[in-house]
Structure 1
Amino acid sequence: MELRKFLASDWPWVEKWFQDAQLDRELGPMGTDWLDAVLAERNGVQLVATVETKPVALIGCVWGDAEHPSHYITDIAVDPDLREQGIASRALHLVSDWPGHPPTAKWTAFVASRNIPAQGLLRKSLWSHAGSSDGMLKFEKSATRPTS
């Protein structure tokens, strides 16, 4: 599995994935507003995990800053036809080791309390539950790459 940056040409398969009821419920709706925002993003990145060039996962990241130094996972979606194969776990691990992100000491993710699969993914990936905020569960993990 490899990671690359999301491209405008990825939109057709993303749009198809989000016709899936579970993805639409947890992360959607996806539309051209999302696409425009992702393509204009300068404080993070949307990454595509691929296996032999086939997209298998989509992972959003926002980089930390002086006020909030942690990097954030904003979303993770797996091809609906490939669920329950460990893809999300492998992709999440690759993101923290991806050389394209700025240095950080910690990663954070917020998950809706109803999103049991995402909570299970983070726990299985050894992220620590760190409380809640605005009705979302907060998970954290120390960075695996040095911070400088």
Structure 2
Amino acid sequence: MIAKPISSQLTFKKFKRENYEEYRSWYNNERIKEALYDVEGEWLAHVLNQKDGIQYAVYGEQTLVGVVGVLFPAQDHPYSVITDIAVNPALFRKGVGSQILSGLTNLHALGADYYWVAFVEVDNELAQRFFEKNGWRQGSDRKVADDMIRYEFRKT
């Protein structure tokens, strides 16, 4: 099946139970399975009841094109964290991930003292290139742990 290109306008909606089965089906794709943790029942319960962030279902027209999670800034961290980002496998390599990232950072206007953070596994070179291509920079504490790299994005 050839996927139609998505419109440049994305719609971010709170992830709902109705989105789960379609999103879960994306895990049949090896790249998604390797890059993201599985989304079993505990994950769904967490995102449906989350108070410290939000999980978005991202639509291009009527098509679910992506899913992205955000942890909001808090007293102990003045930044929003992208907890996960996934693109519909039918739309890989079409710029959808970059559109989602740009749309998300524009959707949540952060004050001057706030910024965005994402943590990427050291062996996930594809995600590292993705964030770097989109203007994210490695944080001063490059390695957060042995297996993670911190990326930051500050609006100028």
- What's the TM-score, normalizing by structure 1? 0.90
Runs of 4+ aligned structure 1 residues displaced above 2 Å come to 101-104
Residue 102 of structure 2: aligned partner = 93
2:35 is the counterpart of 1:35: no
Give CA deviations for 1:6-36 in whole Å, capped at 9, x if unaligned.
Answer: 1111011011011212211211212111100
In the TM superposition, what is the alpha-carbon distance from 1:102 to its structure 2 partner? 6.7
Matches within 5 A, 1:123-138: 123-130=132-139, 131-134=142-145, 135-138=147-150
Matches of 2:144 and 2:110, distance apart in 1:
25
Matches of 1:57 and 1:142, distance apart in 2:
23
**AA aligned opposite 1:133:** V
In the TM superposition, what is the alpha-carbon distance from 1:120 to its structure 2 partner? 1.0
Matches within 5 A, 1:1-148: 1-99=10-108, 103=111, 105-130=114-139, 131-134=142-145, 135-143=147-155
The question of whether the paired residues in 2 share the 8 Å contact of 1:24 and 1:30 is answered with no
Gaps of 5+ in 2: 1-9
Count of matched residue pairs? 143
Give CA deviations for 1:55-92 in whole Å, capped at 9, x if unaligned.
Answer: 10111100111111110001110011110000000100
- What's the TM-score, normalizing by structure 2? 0.86
Supply the RMSD in Å over aligned alpha carbons. Answer: 1.5
Matches of 1:136 and 1:143, distance apart in 2:
23
